A and B are shown apart, each in its own frame.
Chain A
C-alpha cells in the first residue's frame, strides 16, 4: 500500500535532472520513479499552483528548473550543482514517513521549480501537496472535504503536513482536530490567498510584529500554493534584523 505514497514522493524525479516527463527514465538508483500518481492527486496539486490551460513561458528569460526566489527575484542556485547524494536520499528511501520527513526538511528540493513555465513555484512544496492530497484521497476524502489546517510548531502529521516552520506547521486534512482551518473549496485553483484569508486565526504576530505584517501582506497577494509555502520558508530564513513597529 505504501507504493502509491512513495510514487507521490518520486513522481517528479525527472525534474531534478532537467528532463521532460516524456523522456524521463523509469528508475533512479534502483527505485521506480516518474510514475503517474494515482487518484488525480498530481494534477489537483498542480492546479493549486499553476493555470491548467495551455502552458506558456511566464518569465521569457528563464528556461530551466532552477527556482526564482520571490524574495530576491533571482535564481536561488545553479541547480546543475545540486548534490546528487542528497537528491538520492529524497527519492530512494523506502519508508513513506521517512520520505515525508526528508521532503519537509529538504533544502535541495526547494532549489527547483515545479514547472519551467512558472519558475517561482517550488518542487518541494508541490510534491508535499501531491502527497497530502493523495493521502487524504486514499482515506476516502474528496478534494472538497480537505482543509488547510494550522498546527502548532513541532506537530507533524505523516504525509499530511505540507509546511513545517519553527513557529507553526500547515497541514492538508479533512479533520482539523480543533485547530484553525479553512476549506480548500470545491475544486483546485490558485486559491492560496483566498484560503489564507478565510482562516479564523493566523499563526503570525500581525498585531505588532512589523516583519510578520509584511509577510502576511504578501501572503494575501499570492495565488500559487507552492510559491506561498516556499515564501514562508524563505521569509523565515531571511537575514533581516527585526525592528520596532512603526509609530
Chain B
C-alpha cells in the first residue's frame, strides 16, 4: 500500500469549476461512475493541479537535470521524493525565463453564461497578421491516486481516459483525455535530502481541514509538529460535495509555509504524500517537507 498512481489529463474543453484545482473529491466522484463500489471505496485522490504544457528546466532538487521540451505535458520519471512535487505548486518554478512565463502560467478566463471558465489552451504572440507566429499552450491537470487495500492500483487506462470535471458537463465543459499515467512506489524513493537535513519547513500543498460540516467530522487543531497556531495562519472556506449536499469546510489555506517541530522528517514526508487530517481521502492535507538552513 505504498504505491501511488500519477495521472496526467489534458483539457480538451474549457473548465467551469473550482479555479485553484480540480478537487480530489471531484476526481473520485468521476471515477466512481466507472468502478465497482468495492474498488472505489478503497481509493483516495489528490487534488488535481493545473499545469501548462510548456518547456521547462529541472531545478537542482530534482534527480533529473536540464531543459525538456513540453516538460509540463507529461509525467517525468520519479526517483527522489522531491520529484513528486515538480508540478504540485501552481507557481511552476520550472518554467523557462526565456519565455513569457507569467502569461503561459495564468489561466485565460472566458465568460460562459456569467461563469468564469478556465480556457483549455493559452494562445500567445497573436497580433493581427501574424497568425502563423502564434503559439498554443495546452493545459493539463495532474493528480495521483492511492488505495488503502492491495490490488486496487493501478487502475486501467480505459478507466482514466475520457473523463469530465466541473460544471456544465452536458455541454462538454471539463472534458479531459488521459495523457500519461505511471505508478510510483513511495517506499522506494530517495529521501536522502531529508535524511541529511538539520531543519525543515512544511509547505501546505493543499488546504488542511480545521472544521467540517460533514457528518461525524470532528474539529481539528493544527498538528503539534507545526510551529504555528491557527490564529496566525490564513484561513479559507472550502466546500465538499457529497450525498447530494454541500458541506462547508474551514481550512488552513494552501500555499503557506510553517516550520517543522517534529524529529522524523522522512516519516512525516511519507504521511504528507498520503495526506493528513480530515478529508485527506479527498485531497486535503497534502504536505511537502523541505530542508532549510538551521536557524542561528
Interface residues, chain A, CB within 8 Å of chain B? 51, 53, 56, 58-62, 68, 70-71, 73-75, 118-120, 193-194, 197-202, 206-208, 210-211, 213-214, 216-218, 220-224, 227-228, 231, 240-243, 246-247
Contacts and interface: CB of A to CB of B under 8 A. Distances in A.
26 contacts: A58-B98, A58-B99, A60-B125, A60-B133, A71-B109, A73-B108, A73-B124, A74-B126, A193-B90, A208-B237, A210-B115, A213-B19, A214-B107, A216-B19, A218-B19, A218-B106, A218-B109, A220-B20, A220-B91, A221-B102, A221-B106, A227-B102, A241-B114, A246-B115, A247-B241, A247-B246
Nearest to B257: A198
A222 B102 contact: yes
A20 to B, nearest CB: 21
A221 B92 contact: yes
Contacts of A68: 100, 103
Contacts of B236: 202, 206-207
A226 to B, nearest CB: 10
Contacts, number: 124
B234 interface: yes
Contact of A221 (B105, B234, B253): B105
A197 B256 contact: yes
B20 A59 contact: no
B102 A243 contact: no
B167 A58 contact: no
If over half of A's interface residues share one DSSP class (helix, strand or loop), that class is named, otherwise mixed; here it is: loop
Given A59-B124, A197-B255, A207-B236, A70 B102 contact: yes
Contact of A120 (B19, B100, B108): B100
B233 interface: yes
B35 interface: no
B231 to A, nearest CB: 9
Contacts of A210: 115-116
Nearest to A119: B100
